[in-house]
Structure 1
Amino acid sequence: MRATKTVLIMAAAATIAGLTGCAGNSKPAASPAAPAVTPGQQRAVEPVANVTALNGTFFYMGGYNISGEFFSVQNGKKKTVAADTRDGFQYYASVSPDGKHVAYLGSGMKVVVSDVDGRNKKTFAVKLGLEAHGPAWTADSTGVIGALAAKSGPSTAGVVRIADGRFIALPKSVQGGYHYRMSGDGKRIFWVSSKMAVYSAAVDGSAVRRMPVFGLDTTKAQNPKHLLAGDLGQVDFTGSRVTVAVRGWANTHAVDALGADRSDTLVDTATGQVLPLPLKGYVLHVMLLPDGSVLTLSGEGDSAAKSPVFTLFSKDLKKVLTQPTKLGNNVLRDYRM
């Protein structure tokens, strides 16, 4: 896959009006200037059209216990990245875009960041709430996006800088959402509303847009299949595609703050249309990879537990390869070439 630069536009106060910062678990306080962020660069990987086997690194959650272990598998060898602590949420750990770090919520909902192999673990004082059980990364891999744990009232969404643990609030126009994600180019923030619609905005809070079709507050003409976004999985480099965990119309109570542990649908953000993938059987997971290619996990019949298989698609959704796997009770979280 081609090397792609990911530039986080959320840099200085002159670029992003209204950002505030705080340390630890206190309320965000006014900051004279938001610190600059160094652009990141993703690793060079093989063009997807030339890939003949999935020989990269898979990242899994162990079983369905939310405090269970998070581990990697490469060349058939398993390595524990975050052990089962019984009171943490390493189950929902996420890998940074540059592939160097892993972030999750540890004991007491505190943000934990380690190297991708689990070493050099650092626990920050910042505590994130339910909306961040699956903390997302900024495009340049320098921060983790989530919402502060709130004892009462609305929580504040923002970025925890991994350099010093400082919390920087997101603009007011993007507050009040769930499952925040950033496009790979660092230009837009995406989130799910309480009505299970998908919104996005420029990182300075301007140009707020709603993705068509999805949401409880739609008409039958607008949303004939009653599609609801229970969670956001990944956003591609330009923000033109997202993966979502689709909810049925019967789930009309509210968006689940905890979210899903996987996404099952690929969606065009300009039209809100589901992008069909030529898969047979039960589709368990649809994942956007950093270069825009798509990795899916599916199985026979109505369950991926029977004959699970990975399928890799190029960015233009042409099938590149299929590869059988052994899934067990584990849940796929990420894959890196």
Structure 2
Amino acid sequence: MSPDRRRFLRAAAALPLAALAGTAAAGAAPPAHRKHFDSPAALAAYTRRSRLSQPLLMAHRAGYKPHVPGYPECHLVSARKVMATGPAMIEVDIRRTRDGVMVPLHDVTLDRETTGSGPVRDIAFADFRRLRMRDGTGAATDLAPDSLEAFLDWSAEGALLWLDTKDVDPAELVALIRDRDAASRVIVSAYGRATLEAYQAETRELVHFVPLIPEQGLATLADVNAAGLDDERMIGFAGYYLPDIAASEAMRERDIPALLDLGRGDGRLRPDQLDPFLYRRAVAAGFPMLNTDHYASVLGFLDIREWA
């Protein structure tokens, strides 16, 4: 990334932050449940399956509250709530605006998550910042959208970010992570062999989430290794609710943790509709890394109060 490009991103990320005045974003205290790693290698070691002495939860889309007013997806207000509540990784989806600024937003379009409309890639970042976020009920809030840079800077307080890359350039993302000195506090998704190889061409130090996708050149763990990623820096994918047993066993034998995604189901439910047995059984069956839209409830089901 060129110096001019870096200066542009910094200036863009600083646009009307005053819009957040009076919210949890202004003058917020450091998160109560902090976790710091000295290096990406320390983060990699912490997440190995054999080292997970208790379940490790992911707060889906920055831990927004489904059906609850005031908590937008992929927003720092929701992420701060996660870190005030309990120990959990904070997942955010990353896309790019028309002028190449990386922003936390899940959908291809602006319509559902913000007061804007149309594709994210068609809006300039300055105009993106003038929009307002919608919460889990669909109501508009007074919160302006964030930038990825703002998330990376905030994570220095002790948050562990899981970056689900929807539309990014690997070289630009690696450059931004380096610029913000965030390599020890991010897990970066890499979908497909070409994307994984692009990340490996930039750096070999990051921890990556890599699902096995045969159609994209990653059918086996050997394919992942051939693309440049070793077992010690890989997090795999166990499946949605019902795990892929064969793939999970292969990863287990090599001490690779595998994320079991429960969010596609429990995101449709209220907290009082959740079945604690489901989460406890998943952990007992050997799946200690879970993605959920109800991180606070699941932390309680599993009696998790602090980071391992």
Please give the range of the TM-score, normalised by the shorter of the 2 chains.
0.3 to 0.5
Higher helix share: 2
TM-score with structure 1 setting the length: 0.33
TM-score with structure 2 setting the length: 0.35
Higher normalized contact order (CA 8 Å, seq sep 6+, divided by chain length): 2
Higher strand share: 1
